[in-house]
Structure 1
Amino acid sequence: MKGKVLIIAGSDSGGGAGIQADIKAVTCLGGFAMTAITALTAQNTLGVHGVHPVPEAFIRQQIQVVMEDLGANAIKIGMLATRSIIATVAQALADFAPDVPVVLDTVMVAKGGHPLLEPEAVEALKAELLPRATVITPNLPEAGVLIGQTLTTEQDMEAALPALEALAAQAVLLKGGHLEGDTLLDMLVTADSLHRFTDTRLETRHTHGTGCTLASAIACGLAQGLPLVEAVVRARAYVRRAIELAPGYGNGHGPLNHAHTVRANPEQMDTSATTYLLK
């Protein structure tokens, strides 16, 4: 086990996204996951049926006690829900984790369409947390909200990168899963490079928690000492395989198979799976 990741995010009672997906991803990539839960959701593959934010003082306390005792090599941030929670997390990072790399998944809407971030909280997110991030991971709708544009094409993605770069401290991974067509395209832009990642689209309804899982897998890579580009490459490969091997649970957007790197009997370990783990 290598690399400690503090995950600041909401809980998904259905286990497919949020804190539950984050913990699974970090663990199955050989890291150690810790949590500061920001909200509880009553959720399954059909959607979000209720949200209960955690009191801000308790969110701060979770971050404080973890950092003061265990510390973290990377931080992943997911669902924040409200402007006051954003302010609380931003201040807690400044107080207890000023130099720790941060992967910020700009969670705004659940897979089923339920809002997970108050509209008035978007400006707070842009002002208080995006400048602190090592990398942000918006999908096209989220990126569109952040820069006030509608993004529907590859050309839109390329044109949006400078504005997104201006919002984030170091890097942007713009996810193009909402593009039409059979080819998936993600773009990673850093201070000195642009990387394009393409894959063939998988026809499946089992994609619940892909954004959470990807961001946590990237954070795990950073915690384990991987350069950002390598962390993204490994994370994307891990998520794709998790989709391919999804267990088929639920009647809606089903969960991934986070445990595809794990075998119950070590003697029967699929050695190909170990390519996802840091040697």
Structure 2
Amino acid sequence: MVRSVPETSSHATALWLLAGLDPTGGAGLLRDTFTAAACAPNVPVARLVTAWTRQGHGRPATSEPRPVDAVVRELRSMPSPRAIKIGLLPAGLVEAVLGEVASRRVPVVVDPVLAASDGGDLGARGDILRDCLRDMSEETWLVTPNRREAAALTGSTEDDPELVQRTADALGRAGILLKSAVDDEQRVRDIACLPGQVHVFERPRVAGPDPRGTGCALATAIACGLAQGRHMLASISAAVAWLDVARTRCVPGVDGRVHLPERAPPLT
């Protein structure tokens, strides 16, 4: 049985988006913002930059994390959340940010950004993120790694047949959504391992180029569903379907890569 979204205070007003700022808009906080505008247009959004990043044009990414005390002060001044989406967390911010988030007792979606698609160093550490998630996460949390991120979080390999279970075991009470869990050029298989059940989202692979920011967008779309009061599994299902449609509407980005559209379809 899937645990329902916990009741939140009547004063809970906003969807929190915490992520690095990628000025190209292909990924990170700007991509999250575009996604939230499409998927939860009636939910106020509160944003927080965790790091200033420089990426795109095929160059290795670099990142400048924000000071911990500044981030914590800003978190404590934000409106009460309905749901929270977390993207890039540089290593020095992980414990403080997750501690603040855990105290809010609302649904949380963590996209465990550990590296940029063009390489480089974003300042993230898989072992630190894993250990803090193991200690702080709740059953109303969801972590959304791809196979490479899951392997980094568990110390395993991308082709490990037990990767789903190893990832679930490593991350404490949180549910997981392992994206593209099987290497298949024709079909996509995402596996959700939630409290009490496992669900497989299998469908034909969307033809065309692979845009930047799909992980950011999917996690944000799930958080949008949660902020609107949907249960976790329903939020995942709607977000997976939404992303498949958005991928058919890609546009050229200013960084020379293909991006998801800024004006994406609504979440259904």
TM-score, scaled to structure 1:
0.83
Aligned ranges 1:216-255 → 2 under 5 Å: 216-250=220-254, 252-255=256-259
Q: Confirm whether residue 132 of structure 1 aligns to residue 144 of structure 2.
A: no
1:114 maps to: 120
The CA RMSD measured in Å over matched residues stands at 2.1
- Following superposition, the deviation at residue 28 of structure 1 comes to 0.9
Aligned mate of 1:160, from 163, 173, 191 = 163
- Following superposition, the deviation at residue 51 of structure 1 comes to 1.6
Structure 1 window deviating more from structure 2 (166-175 vs 176-185): it is: 176-185
1:23-64 deviation line (CA, Å, top 9, x unaligned): 111111123221121101122353454321111111111211
Larger relative helix fraction: 1
Q: Quick one: distance in 2 between partners of 1:71 and 1:6?
A: 9
* Residues 222, 228 of structure 1: 8 Å contact kept: yes
Aligned ranges 1:176-255 → 2 under 5 Å: 176=180, 179-250=183-254, 252-255=256-259
- Following superposition, the deviation at residue 185 of structure 1 comes to 0.8
Residue identity in the other structure for 1:183: R
Identity %: 28
TM-score, scaled to structure 2:
0.86
Residue identity in the other structure for 1:10: G
Counterpart secondary structure, 1:169:
coil
Q: Confirm whether residue 65 of structure 1 aligns to residue 69 of structure 2.
A: no
Q: Quick one: distance in 2 between partners of 1:32 and 1:124?
A: 31
Aligned mate of 1:77, from 86, 93, 117 = 86
* Residues 61, 121 of structure 2: 8 Å contact kept: no
* Residues 168, 176 of structure 2: 8 Å contact kept: yes
- Following superposition, the deviation at residue 77 of structure 1 comes to 0.8
Counterpart secondary structure, 1:146:
helix
Gaps of 5+ in 2: 1-11
2:26 maps to: 16
- Following superposition, the deviation at residue 71 of structure 1 comes to 0.7
Residue identity in the other structure for 2:72: R
- Following superposition, the deviation at residue 91 of structure 1 comes to 2.8
Aligned ranges 1:139-158 → 2 under 5 Å: 139-152=146-159, 156=160
* Residues 14, 45 of structure 1: 8 Å contact kept: no
- Following superposition, the deviation at residue 253 of structure 1 comes to 3.1
Counterpart secondary structure, 1:73:
strand
- Work out which structure has the larger RCO, using CA pairs closer than 8 Å and 6 or more positions apart in sequence: 2
- Following superposition, the deviation at residue 10 of structure 1 comes to 0.4
Q: Quick one: distance in 2 between partners of 1:123 and 1:50?
A: 20
Q: Confirm whether residue 6 of structure 1 aligns to residue 6 of structure 2.
A: no
- Following superposition, the deviation at residue 186 of structure 1 comes to 0.3
The 1:113/1:205 distance shift into structure 2, 3 A limit, reads farther
Counterpart secondary structure, 2:263:
helix
* Residues 26, 32 of structure 1: 8 Å contact kept: no
The 1:44/1:3 distance shift into structure 2, 3 A limit, reads farther
- Following superposition, the deviation at residue 136 of structure 1 comes to 0.4
Counterpart secondary structure, 1:260:
coil
Aligned mate of 1:43, from 51, 55, 58 = 55
- Following superposition, the deviation at residue 94 of structure 1 comes to 4.2
Q: Quick one: distance in 1 between partners of 2:38 and 2:89?
A: 24
1:83-134 deviation line (CA, Å, top 9, x unaligned): x211221232245x2x11110111111111223244xx32221121344151
- Following superposition, the deviation at residue 151 of structure 1 comes to 1.9
* Residues 109, 223 of structure 2: 8 Å contact kept: yes
